[in-house]
Chains A and B, each alone.
Chain A
Amino acid sequence: MKGLKKYAFKLGLGIFILFIVGFFLLPLLWLVTAPFDAKATLRVAIPSKFTLANFQAVFKNTFAVRALFLNSIVIAGGTMLGVTLFATLAAYAISRLDIRGRDFLAYLLVLFSSVVQGTAAMVPIFLLLFHLKLIDTYPGVIFVLTGGLLPTGIFLMRDFVAGIPRSYEESALVSGARPWQVLRDVVLPVLRPGMMVLAVWSFVQAWGDFLISLIVMRSPAKMPAPVAIYSFYTEGGTPVLTLVSAYSLIYALPVVFLYLFVNWRYGFRFFGGIKGGGR
């Protein structure tokens, strides 16, 4: 009797886990099967008629191709560079200088970052960019995304920097290095794994952005992929599933490759920003 109860519990748990796995796995399965199906529906199915025609059709849509391979790359790449550079320098300064209440400052920044990219800030951001004449420009989008991601980026990087002994820098200084040489030869190489994590993270965040681009960009030719995907909808507003899925798959690949590349080249060393403040 007792064994049966235990067995039933295990069975129940197994079904529950299967359900959860399925919930997350099915959309992914759909994403890799539907693009190759001439008659894709919302069902996950082995393609009845295998085809690459969907991709051909997608590549004929120059607007969407330009959105993915130019606009999205520029926006996500620019944001990645900005966030990685500024978050590293800021985290380094915050960690190495004695600033009163720096932990409080860091938490405050993270709190604000959710506001910057939240819908509540859209009107002020639009007005700000309008007066800076940055509406409908790449820098406009990149600035807003960078500004929004920086606090969390600094927060992540801060603990990474704190984990690096000061004696590296001091040793270089005593060895005769100028401060910029210390930065170039010692600090940046030692921080590189952390910067890689930050770069991938910020690229992925910017790559997936929809709202900021939609608001800041005016001309269709500058829209990134998440906006351009709507060009695969019919005039009536229904998605053409074959094309949407093919486009989505292409859209997902750069992020996957980026992750694999960084993981292979540097290995992810995530020191985490949740270790608890201060040293």
Chain B
Amino acid sequence: MDYLYLENVKKAFGKVVAVDGVTLGIGKTEFFALLGPSGCGKTTTLRLIAGLEQPTAGRIYIDGREVTNLPPQERDVAMVFQDYALYPHMTLFENIAYPLKVRRVPRKQIVAKVHEVAEHLMITDLLDRLPSQVSGGQQQRAAVARALVHAPKVFLFDEPLSNLDAKLRIEARAFLKHLQKEVNVTTVYVTHDQAEAMAMADRIGVMFAGKVVQVGAPLELYRLPKTKEVAAFLGNPPMNIFSGQIQPSTDGSQFVGEGFLLPLPGLHIPPQNAYLGFRPEHAKIDAEPGACAIRGKIYAVQPLGSEVWVTLQVGNQTVTVKMFAEELPEAAEEVWLVLDPQKIHLFDSTGQRISLGG
């Protein structure tokens, strides 16, 4: 039985359906990320778990107990908000102590517990400061400490890193992942940043328009996205996607896009309108055409240090290729974009994955 279970949960605000029949099972001690673009219903799902919203339909279970109609204070969860929501009139100590204080824990125990958690998060020196007197990263740690202090059944994170600058965010990512494994508390983490979800989560649920489209381990989602949307959402730079038709050819199939024709030797796919996608790292730029290649023109070259992003003009759209070459191609040069037929992704006209068989 899943530790946290959502059964066909719906939430509508008037006529707007924010969460449209979500069923999710999250295992004990699992780090689960809910990933999706803004407005996809991921934060609403989190708030439903917290009890800050009441579902229009469906049930929610935590640790085998139905909590669907329980108020937030009876669910024994903890939440870290996007703006941290540290009470501005209380010191960090009082902030962290608050969940214990409302549970009428004796003062002595509160002091001991707060210091223990603060030490863990390396904010012991800051306990008598007000939230306005510490940095953003420290505020974030204090917010995590407050969530940690009463040993909740489930941790809920609502984009907790989005207010940090890029460098701190990478640091906090590793820190939170490490911490979660250490305290071993079931965690639901909401984010719109695919890198964050990929880097931290044991499993990811990708949400679009109120529905969970695919659930799986990060690399599973990356390698075998079920839909074109999931494929395009994961990865940086995102997957390149062409629209066109699949047609039979002499030695398999071919993909006809706008202004180009790509042979797909060895693949036998029924003819149809389709989308073809490939990841930037699964293509090469070459002077010679291979078995599966398209003619293109270099549009821009972005050397990033460890890797180079090359943008090509193919037909009337651009695609990006990630390379590790020492020698940079010249802009405006005519080259071949060489693909590996085993590593391309095909989606039918509704965006569902077409199995390449094998």
Contact = CB atoms under 8 A, between A and B. Distances in A.
Interface of A: 165, 167-168, 170-178, 181, 185-186, 189-190, 192
Contacts of A192: 89
B176 interface: no
B89 A190 contact: yes
Given A175-B99, A176-B103, A177-B102, A170 B87 contact: no
Contact of B77 (A167, A172, A174, A186): A174
A176 B153 CA distance: 13
Given A176-B150, A178-B102, A190 B87 contact: yes
B102 A181 contact: yes
B85 interface: yes
A172 B52 CA distance: 11
The 6 closest A-B pairs by CB, nearest first: A167-B85, A171-B85, A175-B99, A173-B72, A167-B81, A189-B89
B202 interface: no
Contact of B98 (A170, A172, A178, A189): A172
A174 B47 CA distance: 10
Given A170-B85, A173-B73, 18 more contacts: A165-B83, A167-B82, A171-B146, A172-B102, A173-B52, A173-B71, A173-B72, A174-B79, A175-B78, A176-B73, A176-B150, A177-B73, A178-B102, A181-B102, A185-B87, A189-B89, A190-B88, A192-B89
B85 to A, nearest CB: 4
Given A174-B52, A175-B102, A167 B73 contact: no
Contacts of B82: 167
Contacts of B150: 175-176
Contact of A167 (B75, B83, B102): B83
Given A173-B52, A175-B98, A185-B98, A168 B73 contact: no
B71 to A, nearest CB: 7
A267 to B, nearest CB: 14
A177 B150 CA distance: 13
17 contacts: A165-B83, A167-B81, A168-B85, A168-B87, A170-B52, A171-B81, A171-B87, A172-B98, A173-B51, A174-B52, A175-B146, A176-B76, A176-B99, A176-B150, A177-B102, A185-B87, A185-B102
A185 B50 CA distance: 20
A192 B50 CA distance: 28
Contacts of B103: 176
Contacts of A185: 87, 98, 102
Interface string B59-95: 0000000000001110111110111010111000000
A174 B188 CA distance: 15
B156 to A, nearest CB: 8
Nearest to B143: A171
Among A175, A178, A185, A186, chain B packs the most CB atoms within 10 A around the CB of A175
A43 to B, nearest CB: 51
A173 B83 CA distance: 16
A186 B88 CA distance: 9
A277 B88 CA distance: 26
Among A168, A170, A186, chain B packs the most CB atoms within 10 A around the CB of A170
Contacts of A178: 73, 102
A186 B90 CA distance: 9
Among B79, B85, B89, B98, chain A packs the most CB atoms within 10 A around the CB of B85
A174 B87 contact: no
A168 B72 CA distance: 14
Contacts of B83: 165, 167
B103 to A, nearest CB: 6
B50 A174 contact: yes
A174 B52 CA distance: 8
A163 to B, nearest CB: 12
Contacts of B72: 170, 173-174
B88 A174 contact: no
Contacts of A181: 102
